[in-house]
Amino acid sequence: MKTNLRLLCSVLALVLAFAAAAFAQTTGTVEGAVTDPNGGVVKGATVTLTETATGRSVTTTTNDEGFFTFRSLVPGNYSVMVAQSGFSKATAERVVVQVGTVARADIQLKVGGANENVNVDIGDTEVQVDTTRQTVDGVVTAKQIVALPLNERNFLDLAVLQPGVTVVDGGVIDPTKTNTFRAVRVNGGSGTGTRVQIEGIDVTDETVGTTTANFSTDAVQEFNLARSSFDLATSLTTSGAVAIASRTGGNQFNGSAFWFLQRDTFDARPGFTTEKPDFKRDQYGYRFGGPIIKDKLFFFSNAEKLDQTDFTDFGSTNFPGFNDSSVLPIETFNSMQRIDWHINDNTRFFYLFNHSDDSSTGGSLWSPFQNIDWTNTHVFALNVTGKNLTHAFRFGIVNFNNRIASTEIPGFEFVTSSDGTPFQVNVGDLSWGPNSLAPQQTYQDNYQTRYDGSWVAGAHVIRFGGDWTRILLGGFANFAGPATLNGILTSSTSTNPMLYTLDTFLIGPQTGFFTARPAHNLPFGGKLDNRYSFYFGDQWKATRNLTINFGVRWNYDTNFFSSPDVPHLASLDIYGPGMGDGAKYPKDAFSPQFGFAWDPWGDGKTSIRGGAYLAYEANIFNNSLFDEFARIKSGIGPTQLSGDDIHDPNGNPIVVNGIPNCPVAQTNAGDYSCLSGRTLAAAMPYVAQVNAALQAAYANVFSNYDPNGTPSEFDVNDGVTFGGQFSGDYKIPYSLQFNIGFQREIARGHVLTVDYVRQKGVGLPLQLLDYEARRDSRFMNEAAIRASIGTTIGVAPAAVNPGTIQAYLNTHPGTTINTFALANDTNWPGFSSINTRARLLAGGFSLYQGLQVSLNGRFGDAFFERMKMGGHSLFRGMTYTLAYALSRNESTAGSVRPEFIANTQDNRHYNSAYGPNGLDRTHNLTISASLDLIGGFRLDQIYRLQTAPPVSLFLPQVGGANAIFRADVNGDGGVGSGAPRTDLLPGTNIGDFGRRITNLDALNQYIVRYNNDYAGRLTPHGQRLVTAGLFSEAQLIALGAVTPTIALVPLSNPNPFETRFNADMKLSRPIRFGSNERFEIEPSWSVFNVFNNNAYGTYGGLTGGFGSLNYDYSSTGDRADLAESRGLIFRRRQMQFGIRFTF
């Protein structure tokens, strides 16, 4: 079906001239129809559009249908004047152009003299029904950005004013985005793939997603957020797109200076603390613009600084002696400079430069990382507007830089060996030492050239354009992390984690390059990508009240996957012919689109609209670099080695002899598992010796590295590498978007929009399907198991049977399944027994369905006329927005970040684990209101309400690796020395609890059903042992090799799902003075989380232990501890005081 669709699109692209419905850039459109007093069309009328701020005028004439259009307009206020012989001139003032939208300016002429001018009221174009487009989008205006309360002053937080949108800290996506970036989640998306543009230039982070640049809120004029049926000029994304328009200068000097401060003195006490923590924030800056040469040359300048110190604490249940708190700094600086040159009335050029930088600390107090970013963005733009043709040219340069280090915070020192090597120590809930996310360096340079054009031809607006982006990525990331000691949490009461027993240790060389190409002044780690796109199509006004939009976009990405010249990975061919080939981007990646907008009564007050679109997703660099890293010669990448297999870049063992109680034969093989069982303190000196030998073996690896050499990283590590491989038959992911709905002006200045939005992701989320399938019950080595059991019970392998087993059990009371140590790779070798792991990328599915409702409008003074006190109106006007989505968001394995690789939930039938994921919100409501009050005060408010996410129900993992006999009910096994993949509670699927299973009583019914039908039964692994005649079923039951019985959930336990509600308010009092009151001072008082209302996070699990659903929380102390472990969704109530001077 997909092949036929591509073929059809290819033919259509060659035969038809398709076009986009509107530019996906940071400009807007004014269009309309001119009619006579009888409603007849007026052709040949002269229409003049004048920009209020700069005086720039553009002229066109109406066509045979009386239609006119102006494209590529800077957002702002305009006037439209129409002149035609036999009629009076007609002028419509304050036509508001918004980014990415169409302002409708239908004008009816009156019979009269040419010298007579009539002002025409066309209504409020800022809140208007769009009768020409099917795109589901919305604009956040300059008024909203300046007026509404914003904690931390990031304008992207206001994206929640659109239905189906949430905004989170960028650190949720990646540590490079911690504290200072935002991820805009659209229609249940993660925010990774949301495209972000500034004035038509893409600033999306191609390595991890979200954005590379920050912009001062005072530099932003407005932004458009597209949610479905994207404009064809939108780059690769299946989730959403943000188009930002910056402020500009005009013929009048204007500007603003501001200072906002927050102090802990005015904040509420956070939950679970007895004292109010330290907190301080100052944000200050300016914006200033005006003419250099009136009507010709204009400037705009802006800068903003944030200085903050914020409280953070660390809590450990296992080691309360480490519980402590401190304050950490955050600093950001953003600056934008812009020059606009009106070459003539038809030609405009501008240059924009933006700089942003930030520094902050993430991680925890005992395992922190320090993150810094700096980005420079250049935009060169030329817009040419003719009577029928418009041209928009863009060239942009984006330079993004990031560095992450991990240094100890004073008072929170790392543990180090005698040679000074810092170690990361992990025991229970304590992680102490250098953060495993450091060190990192990430660099991205974008060089983007873009053209968008339009041609008005009768009833058609033909649109066409293209884009070439040259992306140079590079960096270093030692994901192997620091030398690490993993301890076993026992019943010991010791407060010193170093006195606990070593389970495993991990070390790695100080390497971290994923490709063999130099870039950004580094010897390796580079990736060069060229991204091409073209679109072509038609906006056809089929009748005066019906517009048909159809078109196609073509995409091609030269380095969407690994570089084309990376080696073939022959080790993968055992899983199928060509599996070891590198994946290729297809040359027929066409994105067709169709839509309509119908105004049934032709009065511009109603639009019934619908659209369908096939959109492709980008492949973030993090996915493809893992693939390329595994294919190239070992030695330069972040190789992480476990204690039982320490080797050099060529696979030769690292040998350190003389370790007490470690057999020489074992250490000669690079196996240091003999250190397990000792205390961490006792093992650390020897691990440090092994680590030093490893670093010495890699000392000259960079200078001696041969990019064409062998063996590959994959082969050296038997497939156990970061990420997974894109095989030769991999297909790129896409989404099928569909929307149907209507817009209706329910009263003058009030527009209701209702859309049903459906997005089906195909190939998303990205799943790591392990083709080797170690420890899968299908692959049993009976001979090895017989030999192992025979050694344990003292008989020959051939003599192993239920009889000899029983004889052993009779003389060895207390024997369990663990005694036989059968859960290992030798006994369950997998598909080939050659590779330990072979994770290949497979595509899952996702589905978002939502009924999205928005209501926007303004109540004028007359509406509040009856609300008076002492002859004065209590209210003088109110602007409001309402955004609501009733939705369901489902995905394979419950993935909450479908654009990034993730392990399968069920390795045999990976798409069977499917349902509502952690980003699903049944109800999502945001209301904003700006109310002018008596006495000149203004009250701005935002209210948000969301339902809690669902919870997936899993079987308790019992017995570590031996859980294959106790909890692996689907038999798919797992990799490594730990437990197998967790399995869903039989009878349930992803995200069932909180959706299909609505309460604790209903949950208990599923537990009872499980206990009756599954508990106490053999897993597939146990059944294989019985089938082979090794054990009897009764013996395995006696040995505990059966699925566990699950305790019921006490019905008095706390509700796991709390609705999240938050209210922010801002009270201000503008004070105007000076000539014509052109100066204004505005003091303000903002309160965030006004009611200090804070929902707890969800909790889950069926282990019966504390923190799980079926633990009894009847005691007051347990309830309090549970509440603290669940955490709070919102920050405590905080107050902000501000002062702004504007002229």
Give CA–CA dist 249/290, Å, rounded. Answer: 5
Give CA–CA dist 848/886, Å, rounded. Answer: 11
Give CA–CA dist 1061/388, Å, rounded. Answer: 50
pLDDT, tens digit (0-9, with 9 covering 90-100), for 631-654? 999 999 888 899 999 999 988 999
Q: What is the DSSP string of 38-57?
A: TS-B-TT-EEEEEETTT--E
Assess whether 155 and 186 both reside in one domain: yes
Assess whether 876 and 1002 both reside in one domain: no
Lowest mean pLDDT among 144-148, 864-868, 895-899: 864-868
Per-residue pLDDT for 269 more than 90?
no
DSSP letter (8 states) at residue 19: B
Per-residue pLDDT for 122 more than 90?
no
**Those residues with Cβ within 8 angstroms of residue 733's Cβ, 6 or more apart along the chain or in another chain:** 238, 616, 617, 761, 762, 763, 764, 766, 843
pLDDT of residue 18: 32
pLDDT of residue 16: 33
pLDDT of residue 25: 55
Per-residue pLDDT for 880 more than 60?
yes
pLDDT of residue 805: 96
- Name the residue with higher pLDDT: 6 or 579: 579
Residue 513 lies in a domain: no
Assess whether 1097 and 959 both reside in one domain: no
How many Å from the N-terminal Cα to the C-terminal Cα in the chain? 61
**Residue 1035, Cα to own-chain centre: how many angstroms?**
50
Per-residue pLDDT for 417 more than 80?
yes
Residue 397 lies in a domain: no
- Name the residue with higher pLDDT: 121 or 716: 716
Per-residue pLDDT for 114 more than 80?
no
- From 881, 850, 848, 847, select the one nearest 740 (Cα to Cα): 850
> Tokens for 500?
């606990």
Per-residue pLDDT for 782 more than 50?
yes
Assess whether 82 and 160 both reside in one domain: no
Assess whether 852 and 936 both reside in one domain: yes
What string of H, E and C letters represents the secondary structure of 837-892? CCEEEEEEEEEEEEEEEEEEEEECHHHHCCCEECCEECEEEEEEEEEEEEEEEEEE
User: What does each C-alpha distance from 723 to 176, 629, 943, 962 come to in angstroms?
Assistant: 19, 9, 41, 26
* Angle between helix 782-793 and 802-811 (nearest 10): 30
pLDDT, tens digit (0-9, with 9 covering 90-100), for 536-587? 999 999 998 999 999 999 999 999 999 888 899 999 999 999 999 999 999 9
Give CA–CA dist 396/456, Å, rounded. Answer: 28
> Which domain CATH number covers 222?
2.170.130.10
Number of domains in the chain: 4
- From 453, 454, 505, 515, select the one nearest 483 (Cα to Cα): 505
Give CA–CA dist 917/890, Å, rounded. Answer: 6
Q: Give residue for tokens 């960028």.
A: 170
Per-residue pLDDT for 1025 more than 60?
yes
What string of H, E and C letters represents the secondary structure of 596-664? EEECCCCCCCEEEEEEEEEEECCCCHHHHHHHHHHHCECCCCCCCEECCCCECCCCCECCCCCCCCCCH
Domain boundary among the residues 246, 265, 291 is at 246
Average pLDDT over residues 727-743: 96
Residue 1069 lies in a domain: yes
Assess whether 33 and 66 both reside in one domain: yes
Average pLDDT over residues 54-75: 90
pLDDT of residue 863: 83
Give CA–CA dist 613/630, Å, rounded. Answer: 36
pLDDT of residue 558: 95
3-state DSSP assignment of residue 963 = helix
Give CA–CA dist 1082/1071, Å, rounded. Answer: 6
Model-level pTM?
A: 0.91
The confidence band for 798, taking pLDDT boundaries of 50, 70 and 90, is very high
Average pLDDT over residues 45-52: 93
Assess whether 852 and 941 both reside in one domain: yes
Assess whether 962 and 878 both reside in one domain: no
Give CA–CA dist 122/834, Å, rounded. Answer: 74
Average pLDDT over residues 426-441: 94
Residue 162 lies in a domain: yes
Residue 421 lies in a domain: no
Asked if 441 contacts 403 with a C-beta cutoff of 8 angstroms, the reply is: yes
Lowest mean pLDDT among 4-18, 60-74, 92-106, 784-798: 4-18
Average pLDDT over residues 303-312: 94
Average pLDDT over residues 1028-1048: 96
> Tokens for 475?
């960096």
Hey, what amino acid is at 294? Answer: K
Q: State the CB neighbour count (10 A cutoff) for residue 30.
A: 23
pLDDT of residue 13: 38
Task: Give the CA diameter of the chain.
Answer: 117
pLDDT, tens digit (0-9, with 9 covering 90-100), for 200-238? 999 999 999 999 999 999 999 999 999 999 999 999 999
Average pLDDT over residues 326-350: 95
- From 510, 451, 504, select the one nearest 478 (Cα to Cα): 510
Assess whether 208 and 76 both reside in one domain: no
pLDDT of residue 21: 35
Residue 878 lies in a domain: yes
The confidence band for 42, taking pLDDT boundaries of 50, 70 and 90, is very high
Assess whether 962 and 946 both reside in one domain: no
pLDDT, tens digit (0-9, with 9 covering 90-100), for 922-975? 999 999 999 999 989 999 999 999 999 999 999 998 767 889 999 999 999 986
pLDDT, tens digit (0-9, with 9 covering 90-100), for 159-183? 999 999 999 999 999 988 988 999 9
Q: What is the DSSP string of 1090-1117?
A: TT---PBPP----SSSTTSTTS---SHH
pLDDT of residue 977: 57
Domain of residue 819 covers 782-827+954-987+995-1038
pLDDT, tens digit (0-9, with 9 covering 90-100), for 672-704? 999 999 999 999 999 999 999 999 999 999 998
Residue 934 lies in a domain: yes
User: What average pLDDT does the structure give for the chain?
Assistant: 92
**Those residues with Cβ within 8 angstroms of residue 1058's Cβ, 6 or more apart along the chain or in another chain:** 948, 1095, 1096
- From 107, 38, 28, select the one nearest 68 (Cα to Cα): 107
pLDDT of residue 2: 44
Give CA–CA dist 418/783, Å, rounded. Answer: 47
Assess whether 969 and 934 both reside in one domain: no
Ranges assigned E (strand) in 41-109 = 46-51, 57-61, 67-73, 76-83, 89-97, 102-104, 107-108
Q: What percent of the chain is modeled with pLDDT above 90?
A: 81
Assess whether 173 and 35 both reside in one domain: no
Residue 610 lies in a domain: no
The confidence band for 492, taking pLDDT boundaries of 50, 70 and 90, is confident
- From 290, 328, 471, 385, select the one nearest 48 (Cα to Cα): 385
Residue 744, Cβ density class (10 Å: 0-12 exposed, 13-18 middle, ≥19 buried):
middle
